[in-house]
Chains A and B, each alone.
Chain A
Amino acid sequence: MLLRARSITKTYPGTEGPIEVLRGVSLDVDAGETVALTGESGSGKSTLLHLIGGLDAPDSGSIALQDIEITALDDAGRAAVRRDRVGVIFQQFNLIPSLTIADNIAFQARIAGRYQANLVSDLAQELGLAAQMKKYPEQLSGGQQQRVAIARTLAAQPRLVLADEPTGNLDEETADAVLDVMTKLTLDSGAALLMVTHSERLAGRLARRVHLRNGAVA
């Protein structure tokens, strides 16, 4: 088992009292599996993704990634997990505006110590970015920027790819194309994909679907 999450709870403070975002969510993901995480707005999809990625800590429950208990780690330990085992693709791309596309793609691989120039080149080719490598993010369209974010994640060869509505800003045709590439490259590398999406259509293209409702698995 690649990912094992058990009885995850998370509460955020709100203006009208605490908001219970996750109420005992449990989830398993195997290596090579593609899973869609769906649900209404506010159902806790993104929060669960952030907790699995070590971007935040749950109030209770456990999250184990390849036998590493993420919830027991401190900030530096969680940073190491993000760097070495997990790749997160954000909806807002989160590229580094002052780096070229080539450097953006290589960035996470470099900090993880797994930089391979030919892999970066292959990913750029596969994602149609080969001609854009010397440009800066602001010179690219939204769809191109999202592909850069995907390439950056895959270049670091993570065991688990976490994608938070990676095609939310793209039209249907582009979204389908991006998802195809992302799925293919993830599976080619033997990793797993956990993707948050609102789209029933996109969710249907992945191997399994987990639906959240009011902070719990429906």
Chain B
Amino acid sequence: MTRAVFAALLSHWWRNPLQLFTLMSGLALATALWSGVQAINAEARASYDAAAATLGEGRFDQITRSDGGLIDQADYIALRRSGWLVSPVVEGRINGQRVIGIDPLTAPGGLGPVTMDGGNIAAFLGGTGQLFARQETFDQLGETGAEQVVSADIAPGTVITDIGIAQRILDQDGLLTRLIVDPVQPVRQAKLDTVVPYLTLQAARSDTDVGRLTDSFHLNLTAFGFLSFAVGVFIVHGAIGLAFEQRRGVVRTMRALGVPLHRLIVLICVELLVLALIAGVIGVALGYLIAAALLPDVAATLEGLYGANVGGSIALRPVWLASALAIALGGTLIAAGGALVKLVRTPLLASGQRRASAIAGGPYNWVQPAVAGALLLLAVLLALFGSGLVAGFALLGSLLLGAALALSMILSGVLKVGSTLARGPIAQWFWADTRQQVPGLSLALMALLLAMSTNIGVSTMVSSFRLTFVGFLDQVLNAELYVYTTEDWQDRAMLDTVSNRVGSVLPIMSTGSTLAGHPAEVFSARDDPTYSENWKLIEAIPDAWGVLARGDGVMINEQLFRRTTLQLGSDLVINADVTLPVIGVYGDYGNPLGQAIVTEELFRQMFPDVRASRFGLRMSPGDVAGLRADLIAAGLPKGNLINQSGIKAFSMSVFDRTFTVTTALNILTLAVAGFAILMSLLTLAALRVPQLAPVWALGLTRRQLGWLELGRAVLLAVLTGICALPVGLALAWVLLAVVNVEAFGWRLPMFVFPGEYARLGLFALVAATCAAAWPAWRLARTPPSDLLKVFSNER
């Protein structure tokens, strides 16, 4: 029996390949978007883990020079002799690749590519030495004379080698970049400043851990992926619902012929799971392609925003493979659950006829509007009283789902009004018939609503971010030329060269600190109109810059302001001797850390060991090129001179890469929604024949019916688009004012972009028209014999 029933079930797909294609492609697309995003996340996280494992970044305290310079190897030896368990690190760049030299004999456990137990320690330390890196890193690095060992475990863009080899190839003989402090130290050891006074100990700061910094970015990506999957599940739900509906008669026949219900249910589940597995594998493959295409841009974004190195190629990781297949199977079961329950509850003698009203959307009753209302109410409550990132995403979810569920009700209401206002029999029939189609198309329209509102929301967020960031760059990068120095003679050469040729020299000094219990940085600001004229303060007391210049106050960035209870006028302890009132709050987009600015004089008093290594030079833009050439002639390395336009160009390129990722995901989501409409219309086409045949018999041509079908789809898409606009703007507000603040610590002003929304609306309209064109064309070409069958009871 099982074989015969299973064959009969499968024969449905064989005879209805379009429906099978709908189901498989819907599930595959949904899985593809989800697994693509997950693949990117998994790759990035693997890169962070590789960095943490090989370099110990963020895990260990470090000793560096207060002025940012290099450490003499003799000082390292002095520290070891005085009881400090420290390990030397040399770091530099060759052809843009980060070269790190470590000492495996003294490094804390687990660091580096080789261990004392490994058999290759001799090769690592001796002879020409070994370099460990990924192949793509070696390709960029070029020849160094050392043996190259390809290792996928090393962080992207990073080369690990023995410290001696690193010193040789970086030309830093006898010099070290920093010292890693072993977590286990002897009870008795000399104080650091008594051994080497110019060195400072920096605690491992969890807030700068790259994994945590980028979590929010990945959370956003994951949310996007999940949203895409939800849109996909809508399609799958529709396709499965339709398949069940179309097989109602067959199922009834099989039951009437003696197939037990429970066996039928089991076989249908097996059938669906097999199909889901196949679609899931296809989806994973598509997801791999999506991830491979997007990863370079994501990697550039992560490196630009957070300095996190992420590899540019995707590896097949079991975790995301399994999660993608699980989500495909889970999505199918979710989508099929309702249909199976309905099947169990349907009496054997219930009508086997297909009912358009029962397709996909299910019976239109009070439950859906009630759930929609409850979800929207929950969204409002979360917006008013919720806090934390989880509440932010719960707000997003309830807003989108509530709006999607409310769509049928709204469309039905609008179409009812249209029906009342319509004049003439055809117009009245058109509006009434369109209203009748809403339940059948509701899932596809919900998918379109979600896709469009996501597009509007994310585009608004990214565009607002871009606009704000451009303004912010203009505010922060007000100096025409930036000079970096590492030695005192370079300071003198720079000052001699620029003397009388620039408007002002703005030294930029900073040091790590802890402010109001949070890891932070303290910056200095020289009393100069550059700041007061360019910087826009979010909150400030009157004449804040004047007060700052007098040393009577401190300005803090928005991150510190939001993370603490500090208000204007609150006292902020800068160090043990200095406590100042907060006099202003400035926007500091892109910086994960808290920050405070004090006047230059006060900074020098508080931190006498910190030397100014960066300088902003104000001058006429036309003089930049000449001065730059003279500074190079004075001995300053070319790489230490960066003009404003270079930094801005780099920053904007980071954003453009971010845009690429966002745009790609937007287009994919919209394409999935367009696909949903196409598939819904195609699969509903057979059910439309009995509804349209009487109208045809009464005098409308098939061509007219085809045009009316097209117009109906476009009308529904337009109405859905109109509904999507407020939902999308609400989504943008949630992203900017709630999620962004919780995730990054700053709030962006929200801008609206009517032109962009109009363009998006046009895209959606084109997608809907394209999706409806084929079914309408098919309808216009339906043979009269098929239409006549409606009246002869032979269908």
Which residues does A use to contact B, with CB under 8 Å? 50, 53, 55-56, 75-76, 79-84, 88, 90, 92, 94-99, 103, 106-108, 110-113, 136, 141-142, 152, 169
Closest beta carbon of chain A to B242's beta carbon, Å: 15
Partner of B15, one of A82, A108, A136: A136
* Contact status A76-B5, CB under 8 Å: no
Q: Which residues of A contact B15 (CB under 8 A)?
A: 97-98, 136
A-B contact pairs, 13 of them (CB 8 A): A55-B348, A56-B347, A56-B348, A76-B260, A76-B261, A79-B259, A83-B259, A95-B253, A96-B254, A98-B12, A99-B8, A110-B4, A111-B257
* Contact status B253-A96, CB under 8 Å: yes
Q: Given that A56-B349, A94-B352 are known contacts, is A83 also in contact with B258, CB under 8 Å in the complex?
A: yes
When each residue 523-541 of chain B gets 1 if its CB lies under 8 Å from chain A and 0 otherwise, what string results?
0000000000000000000
Closest beta carbon of chain A to B315's beta carbon, Å: 43
Contacts of B770-795 to chain A: CB distance below 8 A: 793-794
Q: Given that A111-B1, A136-B15 are known contacts, is A97 also in contact with B250, CB under 8 Å in the complex?
A: yes
* Contact status B14-A98, CB under 8 Å: yes
Closest beta carbon of chain B to A116's beta carbon, Å: 14
Partner of B256, one of A55, A106, A169: A55
Known: A92-B352, A111-B1. 7 other contacts (CB 8 A): A76-B261, A80-B260, A83-B257, A94-B249, A106-B4, A107-B257, A108-B258
A100 to B444, CA, bound (A): 33
List the A residue with the shortest CB-CB distance to B793. A169
Question: Does B11 sit at the interface, judged by CB under 8 A?
Answer: yes
Q: Which residues of B contact A90 (CB under 8 A)?
A: 256
List the B residue with the shortest CB-CB distance to A108. B257
Q: Which residues of B contact A108 (CB under 8 A)?
A: 257-258
Closest beta carbon of chain B to A191's beta carbon, Å: 16
Closest beta carbon of chain A to B18's beta carbon, Å: 13
Q: Which residues of B contact A107 (CB under 8 A)?
A: 4, 8, 257
A99 to B260, CA, bound (A): 20
Closest beta carbon of chain B to A98's beta carbon, Å: 4
Q: Which residues of B contact A92 (CB under 8 A)?
A: 352
Contacts of B2-53 to chain A: CB distance below 8 A: 3-5, 7-8, 11-12, 14-16
Q: Which residues of A contact B14 (CB under 8 A)?
A: 98
Q: Which residues of B contact A82 (CB under 8 A)?
A: 256-258
A90 to B1, CA, bound (A): 22
Q: Which residues of A contact B261 (CB under 8 A)?
A: 75-76, 79
A56 to B258, CA, bound (A): 13
Q: Which residues of A contact B4 (CB under 8 A)?
A: 106-107, 110-111
* Contact status B252-A111, CB under 8 Å: no
Question: Does B168 sit at the interface, judged by CB under 8 A?
Answer: no
Q: Which residues of B contact A56 (CB under 8 A)?
A: 347-349
Q: Which residues of B contact A53 (CB under 8 A)?
A: 256
A143 to B793, CA, bound (A): 12
Closest beta carbon of chain A to B510's beta carbon, Å: 73
Question: Does B262 sit at the interface, judged by CB under 8 A?
Answer: yes
A190 to B286, CA, bound (A): 60
List the A residue with the shortest CB-CB distance to B3. A110
Partner of A111, one of B5, B11, B352, B794: B5
Q: Given that A56-B349, A110-B1 are known contacts, is A98 also in contact with B8, CB under 8 Å in the complex?
A: yes
A128 to B12, CA, bound (A): 26
* Contact status B11-A79, CB under 8 Å: no
Contacts of B338-356 to chain A: CB distance below 8 A: 347-349, 352
Contacts of B236-271 to chain A: CB distance below 8 A: 249-250, 252-262
List the A residue with the shortest CB-CB distance to B246. A97
List the A residue with the shortest CB-CB distance to B262. A76
Q: Which residues of A contact B352 (CB under 8 A)?
A: 92, 94
A106 to B16, CA, bound (A): 22
A41 to B1, CA, bound (A): 37
Closest beta carbon of chain A to B313's beta carbon, Å: 45
Q: Which residues of A contact B8 (CB under 8 A)?
A: 96, 98-99, 103, 107
Q: Which residues of B contact A94 (CB under 8 A)?
A: 249, 252-253, 256, 352
